[in-house]
Amino acid sequence: MCFKYQDEEFFAEGVSLKKLAQEVGTPFYCYSSDKLTRNFQSYQQALKEFNSTVCYSVKANPNLGVLSTLARQGCGADVVSAGEMYVALKAGVPADKIVFSGVGKTQEELTQAIKNQILQINAESVAEVETINRIAIDLGLKANVALRVNPDVDALTHVKITTGKKENKFGVDWDDALPLYRAAARMPGIRLVGIAVHIGSQLLDLQPFRFAFTKIAQMVRTLEQEGIVLDNIDLGGGLGINYNVELPPTCEAYAAVVRETLGDLNKHIIVEPGRSIVGNMGILVTRVLYTKQMGEKNFIIVDAGMNDLVRPAMYDAWHTILPVQRRGVAPIIADVVGPICESGDVFAKDRIIEPVQQGELLAIMCAGAYGAAMSSIYNFRPLVPEVMVHGDNFCVVRRRTSYEEMLSGHCVPQWL
Ligand code: LLP
């Protein structure tokens, strides 16, 4: 266990969270490098029978320390902006292990990707394919392109993170994919290298993957009959994690679906996991500012807010909250809320939780994915530190933003 109690005090690997809080102040994110590495290795291990590349989805957590840890293990990257491509390259991910996804890539971003000769650009529309072709011709290069197809499969997950249905904005419509492949095969700036699919996030059932991958296999066979032979099949990300009482499929079970649906095609398999690599390797540590009772209700007011971790406010997401010092006293029912001036700034409603005192610490669990990544300076609050632990060691892999840094791009108009 990477986060665990030792004599009723919560530790990250061998590091006391109380000590870390003294060192860096609160709130802060804390990441376990051991858990991170093991999550990546689970994928590698499960997929080892295939020629495969794990391209970690940088959007889940773009921290340089996180990415460098993964890159050192041989991990690739799935990026959705030139910014993410920049961080991935800085972290040491080789260009030939980078895939570029996203429904709205700019010409500048595509130019960067083509110049860097990345593994593949997952194009999502006719217009994007034509744009890539034009840019590549101008550069005197060929772009490695895959089409992200929309298989019209319901991922059975939260509506805001479902991406593989016909009505979602993502991918090339299933019926348009074949004609677009034919057209792209004739474009001089395009080297057709693959097919890509991503149906959603936090999937707890393998059946939608099975449906989608089966459709992909059919498409790959149809294309081969037409002489369009692809190297790569990119299966996207989406494997869920356990936030509360969920039972997500294991990497082995996922790999079994890949074998069953695509095994005999002998292609290079790319996967783009985000949440399942970084979700449970990170927690958000926050300090109790005040407690108060209003009528029947107990409130625990903490110094982290929805700007630091937006998932509960945005998706009604559950994050388990644990006291850093456990006392074993009878629990109460309370709302754990942040200081932001919005009633949505709630981490937990009517939660059964040990009573805590002013000044004590709480750990908000499973916050490594889409936590720091989606944070903002709303209410002009600094971005919080991110700390990575490694055994008894720790490193501040991003320090708290200063007010000067927050103001650095601002200016007062010259007419004042
Ligand atoms: N590939 C593509 C093309 C994606 O759009 C995504 C996530 C992934 C891979 C990684 O998916 P994962 O393995 O992490 O499920 N902010 C939301 C999640 C948004 C996911 C967006 N796309 C949340 O906090 O739940």
Q: Are 142 and 209 in a shared domain?
A: yes
State the pLDDT confidence band at 391, using cuts at 50, 70 and 90.
Answer: very high
Mean pLDDT, residues 172-179 taken together: 96
Q: What is the pLDDT of residues 341-383, one digit of tens each?
A: 999 999 999 999 999 999 999 999 999 999 999 999 999 999 9
Q: Are 118 and 233 in a shared domain?
A: yes
Whole-number pLDDT of residue 341: 92
Q: Is 241 in the pocket of ligand 1 (CB under 6 A)?
A: no
State the pLDDT confidence band at 204, using cuts at 50, 70 and 90.
Answer: very high
- Residue 299 to residues 215, 295, 335, 344, 362, Cα–Cα distance (Å): 50, 11, 5, 14, 14
Q: Is 266 helix (H, G, I), strand (E, B) or coil?
A: coil
Report the nearest-CA residue for atom 22 of ligand 1: 201
Q: Is 161 in the pocket of ligand 1 (CB under 6 A)?
A: yes
Q: What is the pLDDT of residues 90-143, one digit of tens each?
A: 999 999 999 999 999 999 999 999 999 999 999 999 999 999 999 999 999 999
Q: Are 92 and 234 in a shared domain?
A: yes
Q: Please give the Cα distance from 130 to 107 (Å, whole number).
A: 11
State the pLDDT confidence band at 267, using cuts at 50, 70 and 90.
Answer: very high
Q: Are 264 and 293 in a shared domain?
A: no
Q: Is 122 in the pocket of ligand 1 (CB under 6 A)?
A: no
Other beta carbons within 10 angstroms of residue 352's beta carbon come to 9
Q: Report residue 359 as tokens.
A: 């000044």
Q: Please give the Cα distance from 60 to 279 (Å, whole number).
A: 8
Residue 59 lies inside a defined structural domain of this protein: yes
Residue 234 lies inside a defined structural domain of this protein: yes
Q: Please give the Cα distance from 131 to 3 (Å, whole number).
A: 47
Q: Is 272 in the pocket of ligand 1 (CB under 6 A)?
A: yes
Q: Atom of ligand 1 at shortest distance to CA of 317?
A: 25
State the pLDDT confidence band at 159, using cuts at 50, 70 and 90.
Answer: low
Examine the fold and report which residue of 276, 297, 326 is the final residue of a domain before the chain moves on. 276
Number of domains composing the chain = 2
* pLDDT at residue 160 tops 80: no
The answer to whether 341 is a known catalytic residue is: yes
Examine the fold and report which residue of 276, 310, 336 is the final residue of a domain before the chain moves on. 276
Residue with the two structure tokens 């650095």: 408
Q: Are 142 and 249 in a shared domain?
A: yes
Residue 415 lies inside a defined structural domain of this protein: no
Residues facing residue 325 across a β-bridge: 9
Whole-number pLDDT of residue 55: 98
Which range marks the domain in which residue 77 is found? 33-276
CATH classification at residue 357: 2.40.37.10
Q: Are 190 and 206 in a shared domain?
A: yes
Q: Is 344 helix (H, G, I), strand (E, B) or coil?
A: coil
Considering the candidates 2, 75, 251, 341, report the single residue annotated as catalytic: 341
Q: What is the pLDDT of residues 289-316, one digit of tens each?
A: 999 999 999 999 999 999 999 999 999 9
Whole-number pLDDT of residue 155: 78
Q: Please give the single-letter amino acid code of residue 61.
A: N
Q: Are 302 and 181 in a shared domain?
A: no
- Pick from 149, 272, 309 the residue to mutate for probing ligand 1's pocket: most ligand atoms within 8 Å of its CB: 272
- Residue 345 to residues 240, 339, 340, Cα–Cα distance (Å): 24, 7, 6
> Is cis: bond before 208, omega within 30 of 0?
no
Mean pLDDT, residues 389-405 taken together: 98
- Residue 303 to residues 332, 338, 351, Cα–Cα distance (Å): 20, 6, 18
Nearest by Cα to 270 from 126, 153, 100, 109: 100
Mean pLDDT, residues 72-98 taken together: 98
Whole-number pLDDT of residue 168: 77
User: What secondary structure does DSSP assign to 128-193, as a single string?
Assistant: HHHHHHHHHHHHT--EEEEEEEE------S-GGGB--STTSS-SEEHHHHHHHHHHHHT-TTEEEE
Nearest by Cα to 189 from 243, 133, 230: 133
Q: Are 14 and 101 in a shared domain?
A: no
Q: Are 74 and 48 in a shared domain?
A: yes
* pLDDT at residue 164 tops 70: no
- To the nearest whole number, what is the mean pLDDT of the chain? 96
Q: Are 320 and 195 in a shared domain?
A: no
Whole-number pLDDT of residue 1: 63
Residues facing residue 346 across a β-bridge: 337
State the pLDDT confidence band at 170, using cuts at 50, 70 and 90.
Answer: confident
Q: Please give the Cα distance from 232 to 17 (Å, whole number).
A: 43
Whole-number pLDDT of residue 166: 73
Q: Are 147 and 180 in contact (CB under 8 A)?
A: yes
CATH classification at residue 266: 3.20.20.10
